[in-house]
Amino acid sequence: MDKEHFVNRYRKYGEEQPYWKAGIFKVRLPFIHYAWSIPEMVQALFMCATCLGAIPVLTEVLGVSYDIALSMVIINGFFYTLHTLLGDPVVPGWVTPAVPIITAFLTTYEMGSGRTQALIALQMILGIIFLVLGVTGLGSKMVKIVPQSVKAGVLMGGGLAAVIGEIKEGGRFGKFPIAVGVGILVAYFCLFSPIWVKMRKSNKFIDAVGKFGMLPAILIAVVVGPLVGELAIPSVQWWPLFKVPEIGNVWNQLSPFAIGWPGAATWLAALPVAIVTYIIAFGDFVTSEALITEADAIRQDEKIDFNANRSNVISGIRNVAMAMVSPYTQMCGPLWAAVTAAVSQRYKEGPEAMESVYSGFGTFRISTFVAVALMPISSLLQPVLPVALSLTLIVQGYICTQLAMNMCDSDIKRGICGVMGAVLAIKGAAWGLVVGLILFFLLKEDKVRVPVEK
């Protein structure tokens, strides 16, 4: 839409969405600073299945009950809303690739207060790293200083790790092959296929379905899974309508103020795990910048301000707060790549599809916070939780690898990206980063390129 035909009740063409200035933060509230987005709200009601996917991990690793784990998910859901509230244009999520590393570390401690204290130390250190890098401005500098080929390698490694983790022996694809297989084909087709784009332009019903991003894939998995016997038939609980989080019980069982603070040895043991977790989370800042830059280039009517320092600070606040109230095995990461990409995809269709990027991101995260507390929704989705988590990870794999390839404009960069990505996916974030930096300095291209004779 060109400037002459642009109409918006909130901002002028090419300007930022309005906000209240609060230091580094830009406070935005729904209905006051941006419009509510119905498609994102509906999508969130079912995509919250991925958020609820934390429950099996929490019950298994920390030994808490289902009700306590659900309460922890609701508390975490509240902190999710801080990002768009404070001006970060993303859908935040977990530090997902780090979860296996974190659980391996935690299981070296016996179930009980010792293991919980180890989680507290890990998440507190991670939060402090986020805060220090954000407050000092080093977070934003890191995103800019890191070479393009190494950034691409981080993205490639994250994408490969996400897909490999699902399809390897013992992964969720092997446990639910039909539900995950059908669901991911539908997700890829509805999110990325040019054929689907053409179908949306010629059919109003298909266009309406296309507005809901990954929702069709989740709904199909809910139906297909029980039909083929891979998932149990849902048993919907209608009352009570809302789950009131058991904050008192969560506090008494998990808070360091109730169970005691970790000892010095636990803090020292958690430090390297926290550093590796941040290295993994760094890839989310790279992904965020790539997704937002791409969307900003297409939507000239709105200026989007992505600030890695602000994102670091908000992520730090979330991790420190959760460590003190309800330590979370998934950590508090700066990005849910699959949904951020899905919402960005619809945003790029123009102002008539989504008024502002904050309309999509803000509506989605507020809605998931409400949805995880709705007992009919959480009980309906309970059997499909592992499949929903698998779908979002495999979609994330596609997005990360696509962005990584787009960031490489030479053969050397593509080579560094591929090798680094493979090492990161197989050997871990620290190994991948070291290999990527060595290759960058070893194979660094000259700034002046020799012209090729025609």
Q: Give dist(CA 82, CA 89) in Å, integer.
A: 11
Q: What is the mean pLDDT of residues 310-317?
A: 96
Model pLDDT for residues 24-36, shown as the tens digit of each residue: 999 999 999 999 9
Q: Which residues pair with 83 in a beta bridge?
A: none
Per-residue confidence at 452, pLDDT binned at 50, 70, 90? very low
Q: What is the pTM of this model?
A: 0.81
**179-188, 324-333, 423-432: which range is least confident on average?**
423-432
Q: Is the pLDDT of residue 180 over 90?
A: yes
163 or 449, higher pLDDT: 163
* Closest of 244, 246, 245, 232 to residue 380, by C-alpha: 232
Q: Is the pLDDT of residue 374 over 50?
A: yes
Q: Give dist(CA 24, CA 309) in Å, integer.
A: 9
Q: What is the mean pLDDT of residues 81-86?
A: 97
Q: Is the pLDDT of residue 243 over 70?
A: yes
Q: For the chain, give the mean pLDDT.
A: 89
Q: What is the mean pLDDT of residues 411-428?
A: 91
How high is the pLDDT of residue 428?
75
Q: Is the pLDDT of residue 189 over 80?
A: yes
Q: Is the pLDDT of residue 219 over 90?
A: no
Asked whether 311 and 133 are in contact (CB, 8 A), the reply is no
Q: Give dist(CA 344, CA 399) in Å, integer.
A: 12
Q: Give dist(CA 247, CA 326) in Å, integer.
A: 9
Model pLDDT for residues 276-299, shown as the tens digit of each residue: 788 878 878 888 888 899 999 999
* Closest of 66, 346, 70, 284 to residue 159, by C-alpha: 284
How high is the pLDDT of residue 1?
57
